[in-house]
Structure 1
Amino acid sequence: MKINFKMSLVLSSLLLFSGCGSDDDDNETGTELEAEMEMEHEHGDDERVLFFYSASTNDHFAYSVESSELINLNSEMHGEENISQFNVLADKSGKPFVWLDSKGDSNATNDEEKIVMFNNDFQFDQNATWEDFIYLGHFHSEEDGEHLAAHSNDEFNVTAGAKYFALNRLNTYISEQNELKNSFDEILTETDVCGLYTNIDFEEDLINYYVVGTDGKLRIYDESKTFVDEVAITGSCTSENLGMSGVEEGVWVFLADTQKIYQVDSHDDGVFHIHTTSNVSEFVGEHDVEYFVSIKPNK
C-alpha cells in the first residue's frame, strides 16, 4: 500500500536560520546588519525537510525549510489514509531512522535519504525484516511543495525483486552505521557514543563526523577521524533523547527533554559554537515530540 499526500500551514520565519550577532552590531543599521549576516552566515541547506514524531501521541509533522511550511502528516487528504494510520494498523509506536540509500550503484551523488519508521522495540544491532518496521517514506519536491510518498511494510514481504534488494541495501547500511559507531566508541575513551551524524559535502569533497557523547558534548572529527573541535550541548545524553541532522557548516542537535534544537556550526573562522537555539514549538506548535530527523526531498 502506498500513499501520497500534503497539507501545509505557513509559519513565521525562524531564528534558526538567522546569523550570529556581535557587540559591534549596535553601530550598524538594521538593514546593513541583516545584509551582512545574510552574506556571512547564509545557510544553503534550504531544501531539507525536518521530520518530527511523537511516539506517545502518534503525531507526525514535517517542516519544509525551503518554503517555511508545516506539513501536517496526520490529516486525511482526499479520502486517503494518513501516515499515522500505518502505526494504528501496526498497533505499535515507532522510531524514525534515516537511511541513505545507495540505490545499488557506486555513484554517491545519486544516493537518496529515506525515512524508515521502525518498531519502537527494534534494536539496530541486527538485520531488519519487513516485520520490523511500519513504513518507509521519502519526500518528493514539486511545484506546490513537498509530498511524502510512504510505503507500508507489507510491500517488502517479498523474496525477490526491487523491494527485496532495497531491504538488503537497508541492512547493509545499518551494519555500516554500527561499525562506524563502534569505531567512535573506541575513540571516545571517557564517554560513550550517544548519537552520530555523518556530513558529506560533495562540492568540497569533504566528510565530517559529528559525535555526541553520553557526557552531552558534541565532538567534531574530520574524514580521517581526527579530532577537530568540541561544543558542550547539555550535561548528559541518552540515545532515546537525541536527534541529529545536517545543516550547512554544521549540525542540528535535538534534545527531547528540553524540546529544543541547537544549531552548531563554525562559519569561516573554523570555531564551532552553538549558533542558535530554537524551541520545537516554533516548528510544530504546541506539540511535544520525542524524535527528530531530517531528509532532503527527491527532485
Structure 2
Amino acid sequence: MPAHGLAKTRVELMRIAVTGKHGQLAQSLQERVATIAGISLVCIGRPELDLARPAGLMQALAGCNADLVINAAAYTEVDKAESDADAAFAVNAAGAGAVAHAAADLGLPVIQLSTDYVFDGEASLPYTETAKTNPVSVYGASKLAGEAAVIAANPQHLVIRTAWVYSPFGKNFVKTMLRLAGERETLRIIDDQTGNPTSALDLADGILRAAHAVVHPGFKDWGVYNIAGSGSTSWAGFAAHIFDKSGRAGGASAKIDPIAAAEFVTAAKRPSNSQLDCTKTETIFGYRAPDWRKSCSIIVKRLLAES
C-alpha cells in the first residue's frame, strides 16, 4: 500500500523537517503530505539554509519543531562534480554529517538520501544494502562519504539509496527526453547501463511509510535501505517508454539510436549496472514501489497535460 494510503487510517500528528526545499523529492513530499491527515512538512533550503555553509543549521532545524529530519539536499551535478570535488564533498559529505549531528543534538532521527552511484556497477545482480561499495565518480564518492558521516553522527538514522529519479518537478531524464524529442527526430541513447527508474512521488511514498515507523518509540531497525522503482531497464529502454507514451498521447516522440556508454563520453563514469534490490524495505516497512513503467506513464501524461 502506498504511503498516501495512510490518509485512510488514523495517524498521530507528525511534523517533518526537510532540507533541500527546491529539489524533486522535497516537492514530491509536499504533494504527498497534502493528502495525508496528521502529517505536516517544513521545507528549508537556500538561501536560509546552505549545507555548504551549515553555520545556521542548528537554529534552522530547531525552529522547525520537528519529530524527524529528512536530508534531501544534495549536490547532484554528476559530471560537474569531477572538476568541483570540494563543493560536492562540502554538501554531500560534510553537509550531510552536519544535518545528522544537529538532528542528534535535538534528539531526532534522520533520513539521509543516497544513491546507486555508490556502487561500481560490476555486479551481475541487483545490489542489496550490504553489497560492497566502490564508487567510480566524485559524486558517488561524496554521497558514500555522506552516508558514513550520517551513520557516525546519529545512531537514529536511515540511509535510503535510490536511483534514476524523475518527477514532474525540476530537471530530470523524462523532462529532458520530452524536450529533446520536440527538437530532434533521432536521439542517441546509452543502452548498456541498467538501473531502476524511480518516480520521486513513489520515493516520497516509501520515505513517508518509513518515517511513520521510525518516529514510534521502540523502533530499532536503523540502517541502510534501498527504495527504487520496481523493474529495470537501460537508458535507451527508459527513453523508448517515454516516447511511446508521449506519442500515443499526441506529444513529442523520437527515434532512438542505441549506443554504448563508450560512444558517449562524459566527465564522470557511471556504473553499468546500478539496479537496487529493495527486498529489505518491503520486509521492514511493507513498501514496494510500483513498476517503473506504470509510474513513468503517469508522469509523462501529467507533463503533457501541464505543457
Q: Please, what TM-score do these two structures have when normalized by structure 2?
A: 0.27
Larger strand share, 1 or 2: 1
Structure number with the bigger relative contact order (C-alpha 8 A, sep ≥ 6) is: 2
Structure with greater proportional helix content? 2
TM-score by length of 1: 0.28
